[in-house]
Amino acid sequence: MPITPDQPILMFDSGVGGLSVLRALRRVLPQAPVIYVADNAGLPYGGKTEAEIAARVSGLLGRMTERLRPRLVCIACNTASTIALAAVRDVLEVPIVGTVPAIKPAAGMTRTGVIGLLGTEATIRQGYVDRLQAEFAHDKTLLRHAAPDLVTAAEAMMRGGDDAGGAAQRAAAALRAMPGGDTIDTVVLACTHFPLMIDDLAAAFGPGVRFIDGADGIARRIAHLTDGQPFARSVPDQALFTRDDPGLIALAPALARAGLDHTVIF
Protein backbone atom coordinates (compact mmCIF):
# COMPACT_ATOMS: atom_id res chain seq x y z
CA MET A 1 0.00 0.00 0.00
CA PRO A 2 1.23 3.53 -0.72
CA ILE A 3 2.50 5.69 2.14
CA THR A 4 0.03 8.34 3.26
CA PRO A 5 1.40 11.73 4.38
CA ASP A 6 0.19 11.36 7.98
CA GLN A 7 1.61 7.86 8.54
CA PRO A 8 3.91 8.27 11.54
CA ILE A 9 7.42 7.24 12.33
CA LEU A 10 7.18 5.08 15.44
CA MET A 11 10.06 5.63 17.85
CA PHE A 12 10.37 3.01 20.59
CA ASP A 13 12.37 2.96 23.82
CA SER A 14 12.08 1.51 27.30
CA GLY A 15 11.66 5.04 28.68
CA VAL A 16 12.54 8.61 27.79
CA GLY A 17 16.05 7.90 26.47
CA GLY A 18 14.79 7.84 22.91
CA LEU A 19 14.02 11.54 23.21
CA SER A 20 17.72 12.07 22.48
CA VAL A 21 17.19 10.33 19.14
CA LEU A 22 13.95 12.20 18.49
CA ARG A 23 15.84 15.46 19.01
CA ALA A 24 18.26 14.49 16.23
CA LEU A 25 15.40 13.38 13.98
CA ARG A 26 13.63 16.73 14.42
CA ARG A 27 16.71 18.47 13.04
CA VAL A 28 16.65 16.55 9.75
CA LEU A 29 12.91 15.77 9.37
CA PRO A 30 10.98 18.42 11.32
CA GLN A 31 7.90 17.78 9.18
CA ALA A 32 7.69 14.05 9.96
CA PRO A 33 4.76 12.91 12.13
CA VAL A 34 6.01 10.89 15.10
CA ILE A 35 4.54 8.59 17.72
CA TYR A 36 6.98 8.14 20.59
CA VAL A 37 6.51 4.91 22.54
CA ALA A 38 7.99 4.43 26.02
CA ASP A 39 7.66 0.97 27.51
CA ASN A 40 7.72 2.28 31.05
CA ALA A 41 5.95 -0.87 32.26
CA GLY A 42 9.07 -2.81 31.25
CA LEU A 43 11.68 -0.26 32.36
CA PRO A 44 14.54 -0.93 32.95
CA TYR A 45 15.57 -3.34 30.21
CA GLY A 46 19.22 -3.59 31.27
CA GLY A 47 18.61 -6.07 34.08
CA LYS A 48 16.39 -8.41 32.08
CA THR A 49 17.48 -11.57 30.27
CA GLU A 50 17.94 -11.65 26.52
CA ALA A 51 14.91 -13.92 26.16
CA GLU A 52 12.71 -11.55 28.18
CA ILE A 53 13.77 -8.52 26.15
CA ALA A 54 13.38 -10.23 22.78
CA ALA A 55 9.91 -11.53 23.60
CA ARG A 56 8.71 -8.25 25.08
CA VAL A 57 10.01 -5.99 22.31
CA SER A 58 8.79 -8.26 19.51
CA GLY A 59 5.35 -8.63 21.06
CA LEU A 60 4.87 -4.94 21.78
CA LEU A 61 6.05 -3.76 18.38
CA GLY A 62 3.92 -6.37 16.65
CA ARG A 63 0.78 -5.08 18.36
CA MET A 64 1.72 -1.43 17.95
CA THR A 65 2.50 -1.62 14.24
CA GLU A 66 -0.81 -3.39 13.64
CA ARG A 67 -2.69 -0.70 15.52
CA LEU A 68 -0.72 2.43 14.59
CA ARG A 69 0.38 1.58 11.03
CA PRO A 70 3.73 3.39 11.07
CA ARG A 71 5.74 3.92 7.89
CA LEU A 72 8.93 3.02 9.78
CA VAL A 73 9.90 1.81 13.26
CA CYS A 74 12.97 3.12 15.05
CA ILE A 75 14.12 1.09 18.04
CA ALA A 76 15.74 3.99 19.89
CA CYS A 77 17.23 1.72 22.55
CA ASN A 78 20.65 0.09 22.43
CA THR A 79 19.67 -2.81 24.68
CA ALA A 80 16.56 -3.70 22.67
CA SER A 81 18.41 -3.28 19.37
CA THR A 82 21.46 -5.38 20.22
CA ILE A 83 19.20 -8.20 21.44
CA ALA A 84 15.91 -8.06 19.52
CA LEU A 85 16.56 -6.25 16.23
CA ALA A 86 16.85 -9.39 14.10
CA ALA A 87 13.76 -10.96 15.67
CA VAL A 88 11.71 -7.80 15.12
CA ARG A 89 12.79 -7.59 11.49
CA ASP A 90 11.65 -11.18 10.99
CA VAL A 91 8.20 -10.34 12.37
CA LEU A 92 7.40 -6.88 11.02
CA GLU A 93 6.88 -5.85 7.42
CA VAL A 94 7.89 -2.21 7.84
CA PRO A 95 11.43 -0.80 7.71
CA ILE A 96 13.22 -1.10 11.08
CA VAL A 97 16.07 1.16 12.17
CA GLY A 98 18.02 0.06 15.23
CA THR A 99 20.47 1.69 17.58
CA VAL A 100 23.96 0.25 18.04
CA PRO A 101 26.94 1.46 20.08
CA ALA A 102 28.94 4.05 18.14
CA ILE A 103 32.23 2.12 18.37
CA LYS A 104 33.21 2.72 14.73
CA PRO A 105 33.19 6.55 14.90
CA ALA A 106 34.77 6.43 18.37
CA ALA A 107 37.69 4.44 16.96
CA GLY A 108 38.23 7.19 14.41
CA MET A 109 38.06 9.92 17.06
CA THR A 110 40.39 8.62 19.76
CA ARG A 111 43.96 9.83 19.87
CA THR A 112 45.11 7.84 22.88
CA GLY A 113 43.57 4.61 21.60
CA VAL A 114 41.59 4.10 24.80
CA ILE A 115 37.80 4.27 24.52
CA GLY A 116 35.28 4.07 27.33
CA LEU A 117 31.86 2.53 26.72
CA LEU A 118 28.91 3.17 29.01
CA GLY A 119 25.78 1.06 28.61
CA THR A 120 23.33 -1.13 30.44
CA GLU A 121 24.33 -4.53 31.84
CA ALA A 122 22.54 -6.27 28.96
CA THR A 123 24.17 -4.15 26.25
CA ILE A 124 27.80 -4.36 27.31
CA ARG A 125 27.78 -8.17 27.50
CA GLN A 126 26.40 -8.71 24.00
CA GLY A 127 28.36 -10.53 21.34
CA TYR A 128 27.21 -7.80 18.98
CA VAL A 129 29.44 -5.36 20.88
CA ASP A 130 32.31 -7.85 20.67
CA ARG A 131 31.88 -7.99 16.90
CA LEU A 132 31.80 -4.21 16.56
CA GLN A 133 35.00 -4.00 18.57
CA ALA A 134 36.69 -6.72 16.51
CA GLU A 135 35.69 -5.08 13.23
CA PHE A 136 36.24 -1.40 13.95
CA ALA A 137 38.39 -1.09 17.09
CA HIS A 138 40.59 -4.20 17.11
CA ASP A 139 43.69 -2.04 17.58
CA LYS A 140 42.11 0.04 20.36
CA THR A 141 41.42 -0.57 24.03
CA LEU A 142 37.69 -0.62 24.76
CA LEU A 143 36.76 -0.39 28.43
CA ARG A 144 33.13 -1.26 29.19
CA HIS A 145 31.10 -0.29 32.23
CA ALA A 146 27.46 -0.97 33.06
CA ALA A 147 25.82 2.14 34.50
CA PRO A 148 22.13 1.35 35.18
CA ASP A 149 21.88 4.19 37.69
CA LEU A 150 22.51 6.62 34.82
CA VAL A 151 19.22 5.43 33.32
CA THR A 152 17.46 6.14 36.62
CA ALA A 153 19.14 9.54 36.85
CA ALA A 154 18.16 10.47 33.28
CA GLU A 155 14.54 9.47 33.89
CA ALA A 156 14.53 11.62 37.04
CA MET A 157 16.20 14.55 35.29
CA MET A 158 13.56 14.60 32.57
CA ARG A 159 11.00 14.91 35.34
CA GLY A 160 12.70 18.00 36.74
CA GLY A 161 15.28 16.39 39.02
CA ASP A 162 19.07 16.38 38.92
CA ASP A 163 21.92 13.94 39.39
CA ALA A 164 22.13 14.55 43.12
CA GLY A 165 23.02 10.90 43.61
CA GLY A 166 26.23 11.27 41.62
CA ALA A 167 25.54 8.62 38.95
CA ALA A 168 27.71 10.44 36.40
CA GLN A 169 30.60 10.73 38.86
CA ARG A 170 30.41 7.02 39.69
CA ALA A 171 30.37 6.05 36.02
CA ALA A 172 33.40 8.18 35.26
CA ALA A 173 35.27 6.91 38.31
CA ALA A 174 34.56 3.27 37.39
CA LEU A 175 35.99 3.67 33.88
CA ARG A 176 38.96 5.69 35.10
CA ALA A 177 39.78 2.97 37.65
CA MET A 178 40.20 0.28 34.96
CA PRO A 179 43.71 -0.48 33.61
CA GLY A 180 44.40 2.26 31.07
CA GLY A 181 41.32 4.19 32.13
CA ASP A 182 43.35 7.27 33.03
CA THR A 183 44.03 7.82 29.29
CA ILE A 184 40.43 7.56 28.05
CA ASP A 185 39.78 10.41 25.65
CA THR A 186 36.58 9.17 23.97
CA VAL A 187 33.44 7.76 25.58
CA VAL A 188 30.71 5.88 23.71
CA LEU A 189 27.27 6.52 25.19
CA ALA A 190 25.72 3.14 24.40
CA CYS A 191 22.33 3.91 25.90
CA THR A 192 20.00 6.55 24.50
CA HIS A 193 19.31 7.78 28.04
CA PHE A 194 22.91 8.82 28.54
CA PRO A 195 23.08 11.80 26.12
CA LEU A 196 20.38 13.35 28.30
CA MET A 197 23.07 13.39 31.02
CA ILE A 198 25.80 14.88 28.84
CA ASP A 199 26.48 17.96 31.00
CA ASP A 200 26.91 15.86 34.14
CA LEU A 201 29.06 13.33 32.32
CA ALA A 202 31.27 16.02 30.80
CA ALA A 203 31.81 17.53 34.25
CA ALA A 204 32.55 14.11 35.73
CA PHE A 205 35.13 13.10 33.11
CA GLY A 206 36.72 16.53 32.90
CA PRO A 207 38.33 18.30 29.92
CA GLY A 208 39.83 16.45 27.00
CA VAL A 209 37.17 13.75 26.75
CA ARG A 210 34.77 13.61 23.82
CA PHE A 211 31.44 11.78 23.77
CA ILE A 212 29.78 9.98 20.88
CA ASP A 213 26.36 8.42 20.49
CA GLY A 214 24.36 7.12 17.56
CA ALA A 215 21.52 9.66 17.40
CA ASP A 216 22.67 11.67 14.38
CA GLY A 217 23.45 8.53 12.40
CA ILE A 218 20.03 7.10 13.19
CA ALA A 219 18.34 10.31 12.07
CA ARG A 220 20.27 10.27 8.78
CA ARG A 221 19.32 6.64 8.21
CA ILE A 222 15.63 7.38 8.77
CA ALA A 223 15.85 10.35 6.40
CA HIS A 224 17.45 8.13 3.76
CA LEU A 225 14.82 5.40 4.07
CA THR A 226 11.96 7.90 3.84
CA ASP A 227 13.48 10.07 1.13
CA GLY A 228 10.82 11.25 -1.31
CA GLN A 229 7.92 10.25 0.91
CA PRO A 230 5.17 12.80 1.68
CA PHE A 231 4.88 14.14 5.24
CA ALA A 232 1.93 15.99 6.78
CA ARG A 233 0.47 15.90 10.29
CA SER A 234 -3.26 15.30 10.63
CA VAL A 235 -2.98 15.14 14.43
CA PRO A 236 -0.34 16.39 16.87
CA ASP A 237 2.58 14.11 17.64
CA GLN A 238 2.02 12.05 20.77
CA ALA A 239 3.82 10.05 23.44
CA LEU A 240 2.48 6.60 24.21
CA PHE A 241 3.26 4.80 27.47
CA THR A 242 2.62 1.18 28.40
CA ARG A 243 1.68 1.97 32.00
CA ASP A 244 -0.12 4.83 33.71
CA ASP A 245 2.25 6.43 36.18
CA PRO A 246 1.87 9.47 38.47
CA GLY A 247 5.34 10.56 37.34
CA LEU A 248 4.07 11.18 33.81
CA ILE A 249 2.66 14.51 34.96
CA ALA A 250 6.16 15.71 35.85
CA LEU A 251 7.37 14.50 32.46
CA ALA A 252 4.92 16.68 30.52
CA PRO A 253 7.23 19.73 30.11
CA ALA A 254 10.05 17.60 28.69
CA LEU A 255 7.64 15.88 26.32
CA ALA A 256 6.27 19.23 25.20
CA ARG A 257 9.80 20.46 24.46
CA ALA A 258 10.19 17.40 22.25
CA GLY A 259 7.00 18.32 20.37
CA LEU A 260 4.92 15.62 22.07
CA ASP A 261 1.89 17.43 23.39
CA HIS A 262 -0.43 14.47 23.91
CA THR A 263 0.10 11.48 26.20
CA VAL A 264 -1.69 8.17 25.68
CA ILE A 265 -1.62 4.93 27.67
CA PHE A 266 -1.38 1.85 25.43
Catalytic residues: 77, 191
Compute the CA torsion angle 228, 240, 36, 254 (nearest 10 deg).
140
Distance of CA 42 to the CA centre of its chain: 15
Contact 235, 202 (CB under 8 A): no
Q: In a 10 Å sphere around its CB, with 0-12 CB exposed, 13-18 middle and 19+ buried, how is residue 223 labelled? A: middle
Residue 155, classed as helix, strand or coil, is helix
Contact 45, 80 (CB under 8 A): yes
- Which helix (H) or strand (E) covers residue 217, if one does? helix 215-225
